């Protein structure tokens, strides 16, 4: 965006230059605030519209922005598109929570999402004669795996399901995805990967398992907001 009179969007009050080239994007805006408060220096708030908080600061001397995305593909679709298309952002790393589909993937394990499957119709806008396989940017994926190894994290790399439905009618539908080797489910990665591909940018999704479909275990809302520190630290190493 080269216009000097750019005044933001209906969803973002930030000005040109307010956002770093790399944005960490949790779903929960309070998780963005947690990261800014606990990891960043020289922090300034750059967006507060609809309480979708965004903060820009430095981590180990490098500029980074953290911003909430909200829940679901329509929400992250809006925010990630605007960051890529209007604010000069080159890399968006989604850091979120997910449900595990596999019995060997436990609470607090890290999933680095190589590819994103979906039940969404998000890609229909591109009028492709087929099914678009939404994948991560390999350069970010490679760095994330290296960072996870360095931190001795219990991590998994593979496909995730980005679903449009949270309270599904078919309670056993997840088993079909699990049988195809899908590691778990969340609600945003497919739209993020599509926007990155369409706009020739870079994207990655890193998730912490917050609950399991193969057991009754789950984390609390407070734990999801404040305790997924290993995932946050892996993502920060990619800037």
- Render pLDDT for 172-191 as a digit per residue (tens, 0 to 9): 999 999 999 999 999 999 99
- pLDDT computed for residue 230 by the predictor: 94
E strands, the chain, are 22-25, 41-47, 54-59, 62-67, 91-100, 110-118, 134-135, 155-162, 184-186, 202-212
Q: Are 137 and 196 in contact (CB under 8 A)?
A: yes
- pLDDT computed for residue 216 by the predictor: 82
- pLDDT computed for residue 47 by the predictor: 98
- pLDDT computed for residue 1 by the predictor: 42
Domains with residue ranges and CATH for the chain: 22-236 (3.40.50.1580)
Longest dimension (CA), the chain: 54
Catalytic hit among 18, 119, 164, 211: 211
Mean per-residue pLDDT over the chain, rounded: 95
Q: Are 164 and 122 in contact (CB under 8 A)?
A: no
37 among known catalytic residues: no
Q: Give pTM, 2 decimals.
A: 0.95
Alpha-carbon distance 148 to 81, whole Å?
A: 28
Closest by CA to 239, choosing from 80, 95, 82, is: 95
From the first residue on, what is the mean pLDDT of each consecutive set of 10 residues in the chain (239 residues)? 73 96 97 96 98 98 98 98 98 97 96 98 98 98 98 97 97 97 98 98 97 88 74 97
Residue 22 neighbours by CB distance under 10 Å: 22
């Amino acid at each position: 965006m080269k216009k000097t009179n750019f005044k933001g969007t209906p969803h973002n009050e930030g000005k040109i230059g307010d956002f770093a080239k790399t944005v960490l994007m949790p779903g929960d805006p309070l998780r963005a605030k947690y990261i800014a408060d606990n990891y960043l220096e020289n922090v300034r708030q750059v967006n507060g519209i609809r309480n979708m908080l965004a903060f820009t600061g430095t981590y180990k001397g490098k500029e980074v922005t953290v911003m909430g995305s909200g829940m679901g593909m329509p929400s992250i679709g809006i925010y990630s598109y605007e960051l890529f298309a209007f604010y000069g952002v080159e890399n968006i790393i989604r850091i979120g929570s997910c449900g595990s589909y596999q019995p060997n993937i436990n609470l607090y394990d890290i999933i680095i999402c190589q590819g994103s499957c979906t039940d969404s119709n998000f890609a229909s806008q591109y009028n492709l004669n087929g099914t678009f396989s939404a994948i991560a940017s390999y350069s970010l994926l490679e760095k994330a795996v290296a960072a996870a190894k360095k931190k001795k994290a219990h991590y998994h790399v593979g496909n995730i399901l980005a679903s449009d439905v949270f309270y599904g009618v078919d309670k056993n539908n997840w088993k079909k995805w699990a049988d195809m080797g899908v590691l778990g489910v969340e609600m945003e990665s497919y739209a993020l990967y599509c926007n990155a591909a369409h706009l020739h940018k870079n994207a990655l999704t890193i998730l912490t398992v917050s609950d399991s479909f193969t057991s009754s275990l789950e984390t609390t809302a407070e734990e999801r907001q404040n305790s997924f520190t290993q995932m946050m630290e892996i993502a920060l190493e990619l800037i």
